[in-house]
Amino acid sequence: MGEILFLAHRVPFPPDRGDRIRSHHLLKALARLGPVHVGCFADGDRAGEAALAQVAASHCIVPRTKPLPLAGIEAVLAGKPVSLTAF
Give residue-wise pLDDT tens across range 7-35: 998 999 999 989 899 999 999 999 999 99
Summary mean pLDDT of the chain: 92
DSSP-based three-state secondary structure for 84 = helix
At 49 the pLDDT is: 92
Q: Are 36 and 30 in contact (CB under 8 A)?
A: yes
- State pTM to two decimals: 0.82
